Amino acid sequence: MAELFKAAADQLDAYSAGTFTRFILPMAPRGYRFQQRVWAALQDNPYGKTESHGELAARIGSSGAARAVGLANRKNPIGIVIPCHRAVG
């Protein structure tokens, strides 16, 4: 467990320094199936890029679900590791 916390701390430090762009940590956030799809899609959005909730909804095959994407984004339990800040309203 200590190794996992060390890896997380090291990756957060590197992310803050701008030398690391995608977290490589075992994750199992709990949420509804739709939330899981949104959180997985958030991780596929490239570093330095943003997309609207509507664009993300369309990308996961749920066009018209922009508000639901926004709600799932807000419920993201691992805010930096799953980069919810890359999806905007």
Radius of gyration of the chain (CA): 14
The single-letter code of the amino acid at 44 is: D
41, 72, 84, 87: the catalytic one is: 84
Partner residues linked to 88 by β-bridges? 52
84 classed as catalytic: yes
DSSP helix/strand/coil, 59? helix
Q: What residues are annotated to the active site?
A: 84
